[in-house]
Copies of this chain bind each other. A is one copy, B any other.
Amino acid sequence: MRDRGPQRTEQQTGRTGVDDPATILPQAPELTAQEIGFLREVGQQLRVDSVRCSTAAGSGHPTSSMSAADIIAVLLARHLVYDWSRPDNPNNDHLIYSKGHASPLCYSMFKAAGAITDEELLTFRRFGSRLQGHPTPAIPWVDVATGSLGQGLPISVGVALAGKYLDKLPFHVWALCGDSELAEGSIWEAIDKAGYYGLSNLTAIFDVNRLGQRGETEYGWNLEVYRQRAEAFGAHPVVIDGHDVEEIDAALWNARQAVGKPTVIIARTIKGKGFSEIENKDGWHGRALPPDMAERAIAEMGGVRHITVQTRKPPPVGAGHTGAPSQAARVTLPTYEVGTKVATRKAYGDALVALGGLPDVVAMDGEVSNSTHADEFARAYPDRFFEMFIAEQILVSVAVGMSVRRYRPFASTFAAFFTRAYDFIRMAAISEANIRLTGSHAGVEIGQDGPSQMALEDLAAMRAIHGSTVLYPSDATSAAKLTAAMADTEGIVFMRTTRGAYPVLYSPDEEFPVGGAKVLRSSDRDQVALIGAGVTLHNCLAAADQLAREGVSARVIDLYSVKPVDEGVLREASAVTGGRFVVAEDHYPQGGLGAAVMEALAGDASPPRVAHCAVQDLPTSGKPEELMEAAGISAGHIAEAARTLLNGARLEPAASARSRSQGGAPPDRGGN
């Protein structure tokens, strides 16, 4: 596929780009004196309400709300296109508070829009109220959770990409950013991608109030720094006084008309604006005004108001994307012959192409699609594939933004590099986003590239994400089936794939439900259960063969669903074997497959005894077999751990051994 860029965009739209915002600024219609007065009143109401609700809560961020109140007033009253009674209308604009701590302003805006009552506004931050400390989608007019700074704008890029290239609807995406969060690299990943993809349907508003949490920001009111950066990263920068409603109005008007590039409005504002005792003063970040001060503030700002603003309604619901989920189960998946060697990452790519038959499946990759095999989808469905280059934070954020627009995003990179976006994945769970992440090249099995490329903590990290699903197939058949299952699974779904090609274990008619497990070898005489997933399942099978030659009957379990885990299969194995488990994983000892097994049965009357084969030492480069042998997760180690269990000897817990650096020293081996 050809990469998309501003040039291509302009050709598509048939409009010519306007590169100098100064040339279009005068086109904005002038405001009447009455309009100006009204907008100022709305701004004051938003300030007063921000003070009222945070003082009622006894905490919150009124001053960070007051700086942006005029901007939000003008946006709400004149530019935002939104049907408050139909938050699911696909033609609605999106307004994302990237500075999530301005939640008092956000909720005061809901009141001004008539979406919530004044009474509800005053439940801010109380237990049981949907008006939490930072916005979450528990509120129907909130797309995503914010509060970890530097995430709202990147997610907005995903929403705008969907709007421009998939929905092809005229909605606009507005992101309100704080100046403190402009220090996050993710903000610049976002503006870069917005520029690269020519997202003229996106406007970032920088609320430059100069003050951060503990003092002045990095650049204070040096707006020129931000202007240069926004321009260099591919946006139209527009510098305004963020308290002048006419300047705000012109900037927002022009932003909506923008062609070829996203707009960045850089607004000089005053923290605590409206209340002279705290305006532009340090020490008032994240502090509610005490009641007596709040009273004076409200008086100075002209008292309590209950203006309801009519926002512009979107056009009637069109033929756009409906969001009705299609059934992945109906897709015809690729099949593989048992015994042939196929990498699970290859099966992922094959299955993703098959899923491409569903129009809401979209994919994105971090410039490694020829390794993850997402390139197969990119070739088959170039219009639904988005290259994010080497920038994992925006990779995940764009997936979240696509989920907001009800697409089914599949994002891929090396499993190790999803750790780059861990905060974004954490927040995506709070956003109740539905995203699928596939991480290839897991564990020491990758071989010569060495430890920087080896995911060895991903299972622990991904299992700990709220409501996540963690999958780890061992063969091509299960990888393809699980890729389809991912499409129909909500929440954060992570699948770990393997670099090397291993024999296909399952025939195409096997089913792999999420939460299940496969028992590959079993008898009612089993003395021990060998539990693996991914490459270690193959090692478990080889170990079972070794043990069988010694007369030991070993059950072999494919724990392809690491979370949720199949407690029933584990409990039965424990009962049959007298609680003798060997768990083998290509992962560090903490929090991975072993912990998943232990956590599942820890509450049982007799929890199983687990010999744990995991990667103890810092790995090096070498052949996969050499590295698995050195790490203590080869078939030989698994068989030896089983023998030790059967002898009743003392086991060394894998997780407690303090690891050493790589080198000549023999590695500690779990289960020995």
Contacts and interface: CB of A to CB of B under 8 A. Distances in A.
Interface string A570-601: 00000000000000000111111011101111
A621 interface: yes
Interface size class of A (residues with CB under 8 A): 35 or more
A332 interface: no
A417 to B, nearest CB: 7
A416 B609 CA distance: 34
Given A393-B185, A588-B464, A595-B599, A213 B429 contact: no
Contacts of A358: none
A327 interface: no
B453 A133 contact: yes
A623 to B, nearest CB: 6
A603 interface: yes
B3 A213 contact: no
Interface in A618-640: 618, 620-623, 626-627, 630
Nearest to A465: B457
A397 B432 CA distance: 31
A456 interface: yes
12 contacts: A180-B389, A185-B188, A185-B393, A188-B188, A420-B423, A422-B461, A426-B457, A464-B587, A567-B653, A589-B599, A603-B654, A606-B609
Q: Which 5 A-B pairs have the closest CB atoms?
A: A185-B185, A147-B452, A127-B622, A603-B651, A591-B591
A454 to B, nearest CB: 9
Given A132-B451, A183-B189, A603-B610, 16 more contacts: A148-B417, A184-B391, A214-B370, A229-B232, A417-B423, A427-B452, A460-B591, A463-B591, A467-B658, A567-B653, A598-B607, A599-B612, A601-B653, A602-B607, A602-B610, A603-B611
Contacts of A232: 225, 228-229, 231-232
A463 B661 CA distance: 16
Contacts of A465: 457, 588
A611 B604 CA distance: 9
Nearest to A192: B183
Given A127-B626, A214-B368, A600 B432 contact: no
Contacts of A627: 127
A448 interface: yes
B127 A621 contact: yes
A650 B607 CA distance: 12
A276 interface: no
A197 to B, nearest CB: 11
Contacts of A187: 185
A186 interface: yes
B214 A467 contact: no
B591 A148 contact: no
A114 interface: no
A218 interface: yes
A599 B610 CA distance: 9
| Secondary structure type dominating chain A contacts | loop
A3 B463 contact: no
Given A134-B450, A461-B460, A621-B126, A390 B590 contact: no
A271 to B, nearest CB: 15
A475 B515 CA distance: 40
Contact of A588 (B466, B603, B656): B466
Interface in A361-389: 367-371, 375, 389
Copies of this chain in the oligomer:
2
Contacts of A622: 125-128
Interface in A224-259: 225, 228-229, 231-233
B599 A654 contact: yes
Given A127-B627, A460-B463, A602-B594, A212 B389 contact: yes
A602 B662 contact: no
A612 B620 CA distance: 37
A661 B138 contact: yes
Given A188-B188, A422-B461, A138 B391 contact: no
Given A146-B452, A602-B609, A605-B609, A214 B457 contact: no
A564 interface: yes
A663 interface: yes
A100 interface: yes
Interface in A652-672: 652-656, 658-663, 671
Contact of A595 (B392, B595, B648): B595
B590 A449 contact: no
A662 B188 CA distance: 32
Nearest to A224: B232
A587 B426 CA distance: 13
A216 B126 CA distance: 52
